[in-house]
Structure 1
Amino acid sequence: MILSNRNRSTQGFSFTEVMASIVILSLGILAATRMQATALSANLAPVNSQEAAIIARETIEVLASGQAPNPTVNGYIVNATRTGCQFGATLVCAGAGTDLEQLTVTVTDPNGSIEPYTVSTLRVP
């Protein structure tokens, strides 16, 4: 018995059609996974920056109180400096025994997930 064209077209999908569908579906799933990973990493950067800002402000307070700040806090590297400033026609920050102090704190993530965050303030010693 010979099958007519009408019966042959209703028998199902060809192997090529199935393979093309699987490839397209796989590419869609990979794109969705990549998009999810990008969204997650983008959400972590502001949290890390906010944490670095909090650490920098707290370190400024510790430095202002005359205590030695921790060199690392929560895995971040903290670099704190205290410089004396002369107040005159211009503000010159260079030595001790001066009118003002410049306190500078830089917080760096050793993993490089954020840019170094720096806070600087002037205070009367």
Structure 2
Amino acid sequence: MRQVLMFWRQQSQVTQPAESISQELSFGEDVDGLVDLPVKEVIDRIKAEFTGVDEKPGVLVGRGQAGDFEVSWTWQFFRIEGPHIGEDDRQKFLNIGRDFGCQAYEPKSSLPMK
């Protein structure tokens, strides 16, 4: 089973549940009320935090302490996916998301991460 973390910024008036937003984004839909992300800056930050990250069109492939991960993105969100995202790596991604004003969500659970 793969572990997934998703990050996006939303306007304060958005009332749609995180699970629903996550599903729409995963299906390639745009979600009203999400704020554009500074994608280049997010990618640069991930590359700075993790050594050996390889950028391919539309995806970053890297290795964290607990294993490989992939980062994909659109202008509305970025998504980290891997077989296991270790706690140290997870915290790095959460910090990156927070620094860019993003809400973090783990689709396998129904609760957004704090």
Q: Same fold (TM over 0.5)?
A: no
Higher RCO, 1 vs 2 (CA within 8 Å, ≥6 residues apart): 2
Higher CA-based Rg: 1
TM-score for both structures, normalised by structure 1:
0.24
TM-score for both structures, normalised by structure 2:
0.25
Structure number having the greater helix percentage: 1
